[in-house]
């Protein structure tokens, strides 16, 4: 016998739809409180089954990932990210591409990017003057864009408007909410601008790939790796990536890493401003690790509190609110049957705010992540999934974590920041939750450490 998932009434569904646009976290919690961990929402092509529990996360991400495919859920990314991007690949194609791309993000290689990260963060922070107010979110978006473009494409491209401007246009389009999209190539439409921007990016990327294949540039960046790498043969094929595949991976890696990291860094800066005691602890930790001027990948192990602070930012302000899959075969969960071919949504944000997993989940407590600390929590292994999990865990998780820790350490060490309002910024955004309307922070004089 099959037991369908509960379906909210028409009124509740409309209310949830509006809530998801306004404040997705609150709407999800409300849904969970009223219907439990499995809810069937919407109609027609907009009908989804929401799975809202750590157990569901584990099933989707780790226990039976082959039953949960990506392409149908992420097809909106295809016009810009490309047909062969990892995020829209499944099965053997995905496995082969991931095997080839993943070594570019191995710890040893990404450690070499630390100096780009600290250099770009410090370049921005050195322009902030005590007594001024800065839009810290907008400022660090630029920093993060320069870091991701430099590390993936090489230095020449980071300041090259010929690639940066069209990339912004194209990525801006795929990050729109689906209701603001109209994927028809007609004059004056945002879609046409995005497609033209994509063509401009492609021309430059293909020229660069060709130059790299000729050996005209010896830069050691992700593009160099993608052009040279071959599958290790452990899978069914042992080909190198085609030019189209290289292009799709580079553009989609930038897309996957830009908004998500910017959103997390915005919240990290907000939390530094809201909790001067945490900012002070980070500053002292950096000073003990040798000081901000020489901060490098080797210092990360000496920054456990900064690491815990970033983990808490990723928990409380999870950039990924929900992500999607389609299931190949039916399955049972929490006493409900989910038929084959269902559009499924799971939510890192929701499980990271469940009170039975995290005490006082709306309190910002870095101590949760420090073993033996009085605030330490012991959540289910799949309750905290800001980077997803299993064989399709975020490819850039180590890159992004290192970047966030280094940038947070530098921001705390260079300035005293404060939030000049009694209400927190409102989170919003179609792809990742960022502070709506920017993040105006007051920059104050820094007390010397010690």
How many residues does the structure list for the chain?
450
Tell me the two tokens of residue 323.
């992500």
Q: Provide, rounded to whole angstroms, the least separation between the CB of residue 73 and ligand HEM.
A: 8
Q: Is 357 in the site for ligand HEM (CB under 6 A)?
A: no
For helices 190-213 and 161-174, angle between their N-to-C axes, nearest 10 degrees: 130
Judged by CB under 6 A, the residue of 5, 38, 158, 400 near ligand HEM is 400
Between 130 and 341, whose beta carbon lies closer to ligand HEM? 341
Between 72 and 447, whose beta carbon lies closer to ligand HEM? 72
Q: For residues 82-111, which are near ligand HEM according to CB under 6 A?
A: 86-87, 98
**Residues 105, 84: Cα–Cα separation, whole Å:** 19
Q: Which letter, b or e, does each residue of 76-103 get, where b requires 16 or more Cβ atoms within 10 Å of its Cβ?
A: bbbbbbbebbbbbbbeeebbbbbbbbee
CB 63 within 8 A of CB 327: no
Between 256 and 303, whose beta carbon lies closer to ligand HEM? 256
**Residues 137, 121: Cα–Cα separation, whole Å:** 12
Q: Is 319 in the site for ligand HEM (CB under 6 A)?
A: yes
Which residues make Cβ contacts (< 8 Å) with residue 372, sequence separation at least 6?
Answer: none
Between 173 and 346, whose beta carbon lies closer to ligand HEM? 346
The Cα-based distances of 27 to 4, 277, 302, 345, 358 in angstroms read 22, 32, 39, 14, 19
CB 151 within 8 A of CB 116: yes
Q: Is 399 in the site for ligand HEM (CB under 6 A)?
A: yes
Q: Provide, rounded to whole angstroms, the least separation between the CB of residue 324 and ligand HEM.
A: 7
Q: Provide, rounded to whole angstroms, the least separation between the CB of residue 449 and ligand HEM.
A: 28
Q: For residues 226-265, which are near ligand HEM according to CB under 6 A?
A: 253, 256-257, 260-261, 264
Q: Provide, rounded to whole angstroms, the least separation between the CB of residue 264 and ligand HEM.
A: 4
Between 282 and 443, whose beta carbon lies closer to ligand HEM? 282
The closest residue (CB) to ligand HEM is 396
Q: Is 81 in the site for ligand HEM (CB under 6 A)?
A: no
Q: In 3D, which of 233, 235, 231, 249 has the Cα closest to residue 86?
A: 249
**Can you list the pairs that 307-310 forms with residues at least 24 positions away whose Cβ atoms lie under 8 Å?**
307/369, 307/401, 307/405, 308/366, 308/367, 308/368, 308/369, 308/370, 309/268, 309/271, 309/278, 309/282, 309/366, 309/408, 310/264, 310/268, 310/401, 310/404, 310/405, 310/408
CA angle 428, 401, 228 (to 5 degrees): 110
Q: Provide, rounded to whole angstroms, the least separation between the CB of residue 445 and ligand HEM.
A: 30
CB 303 within 8 A of CB 285: yes
Query: In terms of C-beta density within 10 A (0-12 exposed, 13-18 middle, 19 or more buried), how is residue 138 classed?
Result: middle
Between 209 and 402, whose beta carbon lies closer to ligand HEM? 402
Q: Provide, rounded to whole angstroms, the least separation between the CB of residue 115 and ligand HEM.
A: 17
Q: Provide, rounded to whole angstroms, the least separation between the CB of residue 212 and ligand HEM.
A: 18
Q: Is 16 in the site for ligand HEM (CB under 6 A)?
A: no
Site mask, ligand HEM, residues 320-339, x = CB under 6 A?
A: x--x----------------
Between 140 and 399, whose beta carbon lies closer to ligand HEM? 399
- Applying CB under 6 A, the span of 20-28, 107-115, 174-182, 387-395 interacting with ligand HEM comes to 387-395
Q: Provide, rounded to whole angstroms, the least separation between the CB of residue 292 and ligand HEM.
A: 22
* Helix (H), strand (E) at residue 319: none
**Residues 426, 148: Cα–Cα separation, whole Å:** 26
Bridge partners (DSSP) listed for residue 416 = 444
Q: Is 433 in the site for ligand HEM (CB under 6 A)?
A: no
Compute CA 382 distance to the chain's CA centroid, rounded to the nearest angstrom.
17
Between 257 and 435, whose beta carbon lies closer to ligand HEM? 257
Q: Is 395 in the site for ligand HEM (CB under 6 A)?
A: yes
* Sheet strand arrangement including 323-327: 38-41, 48-51, 343-346, 323-327, 68-69
Between 153 and 387, whose beta carbon lies closer to ligand HEM? 387
Q: For residues 367-386, which are near ligand HEM according to CB under 6 A?
A: 386
Judged by CB under 6 A, the residue of 19, 37, 82, 388 near ligand HEM is 388
Between 167 and 443, whose beta carbon lies closer to ligand HEM? 167
Q: For residues 411-430, which are near ligand HEM according to CB under 6 A?
A: none
Site size with ligand HEM, rule: CB under 6 A = 22
Q: In 3D, which of 159, 175, 135, 355 has the Cα closest to residue 257?
A: 175
Integer-rounded Cα radius of gyration of the chain: 22
Residues that bind ligand HEM (CB under 6 A): 86-87, 98, 253, 256-257, 260-261, 264, 319-320, 323, 348, 386-388, 392, 394-396, 399-400
């Amino acid at each position: 016998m099959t037991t369908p998932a509960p379906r909210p009434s028409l009124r509740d569904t409309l209310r949830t739809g509006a809530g998801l646009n306004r404040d997705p976290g609150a709407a999800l919690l409300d849904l969970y409180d009223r219907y439990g961990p499995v809810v069937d929402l919407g109609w027609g092509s907009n009908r989804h089954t929401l799975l809202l529990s750590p157990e569901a996360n584990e099933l989707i991400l780790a226990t039976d990932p082959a039953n949960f495919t990506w392409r149908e859920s992420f097809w909106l990314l295809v016009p810009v990210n490309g047909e062969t991007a990892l995020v829209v690949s499944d099965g053997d194609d995905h496995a082969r591409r991931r095997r080839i791309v993943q070594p570019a993000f191995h710890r040893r290689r990404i450690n070499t990017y630390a100096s780009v990260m600290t250099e770009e963060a410090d370049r921005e922070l050195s322009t902030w003057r005590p007594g001024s107010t800065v839009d810290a979110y907008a400022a660090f978006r630029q920093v993060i864009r320069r870091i991701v473009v430099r590390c993936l494409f090489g230095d020449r491209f980071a300041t090259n408007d010929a690639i940066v401007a069209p990339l912004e246009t194209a990525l801006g389009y795929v990050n729109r909410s689906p209701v603001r999209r109209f994927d028809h190539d007609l004059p004056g439409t945002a879609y046409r601008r995005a497609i033209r921007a994509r063509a401009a990016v492609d021309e430059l990327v293909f020229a660069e790939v060709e130059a790299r294949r000729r050996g005209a540039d010896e830069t050691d960046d992700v593009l160099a790796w993608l052009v040279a790498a071959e599958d290790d043969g452990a899978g069914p094929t042992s080909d190198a990536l085609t030019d189209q595949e290289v292009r799709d991976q580079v553009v989609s890696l930038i897309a996957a890493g830009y908004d998500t990291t910017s959103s997390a860094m915005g919240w990290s800066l907000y939390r530094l401003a809201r909790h001067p005691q945490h900012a002070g602890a980070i500053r002292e930790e950096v000073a003990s690790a040798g000081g901000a001027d020489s901060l490098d990948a080797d210092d990360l192990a000496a920054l456990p509190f900064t690491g815990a602070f970033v983990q808490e930012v990723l928990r409380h302000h999870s950039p990924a609110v929900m992500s999607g899959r389609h299931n190949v075969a039916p399955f049972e969960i929490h006493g409900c049957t989910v038929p084959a071919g269902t559009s499924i949504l799971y939510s890192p944000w929701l499980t990271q705010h469940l009170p039975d997993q995290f005490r006082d989940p709306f309190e910002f407590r870095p101590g949760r992540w420090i073993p033996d600390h009085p605030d330490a929590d012991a959540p289910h292994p799949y309750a905290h999934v800001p980077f997803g999990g299993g064989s399709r865990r975020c490819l850039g998780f180590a890159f992004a974590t290192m970047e966030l820790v280094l940038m947070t350490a530098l921001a705390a060490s260079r300035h005293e920041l404060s939030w000049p309002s009694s209400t927190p910024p409102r989170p919003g955004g179609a792809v990742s939750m960022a502070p709506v309307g920017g993040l105006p922070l007051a920059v104050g004089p820094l007390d010397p450490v010690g």
